[in-house]
Structure 1
Amino acid sequence: MIVGVDLAGKDKNASGIAILNKNNIYTTEKYYDNEIIEICKKARIVVFDAPLSLPKGRCCLEINCECSKFGHFRKSDIEIRKYGKVLPLTFRGMKKLVFRAIKLKNIIESLNKNTCVIETHPNTAKKMIDVSILKRFKTNKKISKMTIHEFDAMIAAIVGYFYKKKKYIALGDKNEGTIILPKLTSP
């Protein structure tokens, strides 16, 4: 099972969830960490649409901290910019998202040592996925009826599918954190 998560920065906002099992995709929205963890701890691969690490050398994302000299971007953030814009991790709205994502990643990995947790960027992945691949999957609702969060979670889950098939590219430095994108070929 592969789970895609379009994580919200705050639990008062909906996070999109997509569960990919064989060729079936079930999408929904969840709010609370315990709901997300309960789904993700059973997965083989969990794919977050959220940064899962800090820039190398950073202990936090505060501008007035000594660690700010290490910058606002990870190597993966810089590399993905050739495909489009990404927000700096130090951007006010991103800080909560980053720390929530890192916390969830650590909990999920501690609950299931066999779960692989990776990061993607659905807006970029959408540009790389051949639309015809969507026909391979049966969804519980029409794409036109999905929320944007469910749709992005579905794209994240499909990135997990490419990852499982070893048809992906990894941007960045594995010691700092990578962003996984599908290769431009169909799987």
Structure 2
Amino acid sequence: MTALLGIDLTASEKRASTFAALDGNGRFLDMGFARTDDDILDTVRRFDASLVGIDSPLGLPQGYCCLEESCDCGPTAGAPGRSAERALSKAGIPLFWTTKRSIIKKMVYRGMSLAEGLEVEGRQVLEVYPYGAKVRLWGRRMPKKSTPEGLDFLIGRVAELIPGVSQTRTNLDHDLCDALLAAYTVYLLTQDKTEAFGAVEERQILLPAAGL
């Protein structure tokens, strides 16, 4: 089975990541949890996904070889973070920046390692950003996803986007919704309805195109 896959990655294997799979027409196939890196790789292989969207930074700023403060590597751009992060921030979409003081270093390293492993297998790996997708699709005025109202809003909107999700809505939480949005962004790429931010060398961030 060939599918489009979205992964909402956690920083470590202590907490399970979520995944969602859509078919080539953007219809819901499956979703679930994957705790270890091997679990994630096995999930991608099970669906034979050629396109995988991961919600995590997958690259470093130009000039960086790592995120360790003990290393003297530094950005060549003369500005913090990656060009994609600067562009999104300028557009009013907040996000974690990839710097040596980042609180998500472990996630960055994990995401980069997974992307490398998947690309060795011949799969295309894309950096996606579900929160940015929400802003692009629904605007900035959304209830917080951590509240019951926010979760109801999120589930309802995701169910409108992806055929087949409404039958599973009682099982959804905000992490699974983020995985579904990651997969939906990958689907939009196949329809030429995405916008890529930043430099290819640093890994671009893919969002739904404006005005959808």
TM-score normalised per structure 2: 0.79
Q: Which amino acid aligns with 1:5?
A: I
2:81 counterpart of 1:73? yes
- Contact kept in structure 2, 1:53 and 1:102, CA below 8 Å: yes
Q: Which amino acid aligns with 2:38?
A: N
Q: Secondary structure at the match of 1:129?
A: helix
Q: Which residue of 2 aligns with 1:83?
A: 92
2:44 counterpart of 1:40? yes
> Which shows bigger deviation, 31-40 or 62-71?
62-71
Q: Which residue of 2 aligns with 1:99?
A: 109
Tell me, in whole angstroms, the C-alpha distance in 2 between the residues paired with 1:148 and 1:98: 21
Q: Which residue of 1 aligns with 2:8?
A: 6
- Contact kept in structure 2, 1:29 and 1:149, CA below 8 Å: no
Q: Which amino acid aligns with 1:75?
A: S
- Of 172, 178, 188, which aligns to 1:162? 188
Q: Secondary structure at the match of 2:94?
A: coil
Q: CA deviation at 1:91?
A: 3.9
Gap change, CA 1:141 and 1:43, over 3 Å in 2 = same
Q: Which residue of 2 aligns with 1:141?
A: 168
Using CA pairs below 8 Å that are at least 6 residues apart, which structure has the higher relative contact order?
1
Gaps of 5+ in 1: none
Identity %: 26
Q: Secondary structure at the match of 1:84?
A: coil
> Which shows bigger deviation, 69-78 or 175-184?
69-78
Query: Who wins on radius of gyration, i.e. which is larger?
Result: 2
More strand by share: 1
2:134 counterpart of 1:126? yes
> Which shows bigger deviation, 71-80 or 85-94?
85-94
Q: Which amino acid aligns with 1:178?
A: Q
- Of 16, 19, 22, which aligns to 1:17? 19
- Contact kept in structure 2, 1:14 and 1:149, CA below 8 Å: no
Tell me, in whole angstroms, the C-alpha distance in 2 between the residues paired with 1:133 and 1:149: 15
Q: CA deviation at 1:106?
A: 0.8
TM-score normalised per structure 1: 0.89
Tell me, in whole angstroms, the C-alpha distance in 2 between the residues paired with 1:182 and 1:98: 22
Gaps of 5+ in 2: 139-156
Q: CA deviation at 1:175?
A: 2.0
Q: Which amino acid aligns with 1:141?
A: T
Tell me, in whole angstroms, the C-alpha distance in 2 between the residues paired with 1:25 and 1:2: 9
Aligned residues between the structures: 183
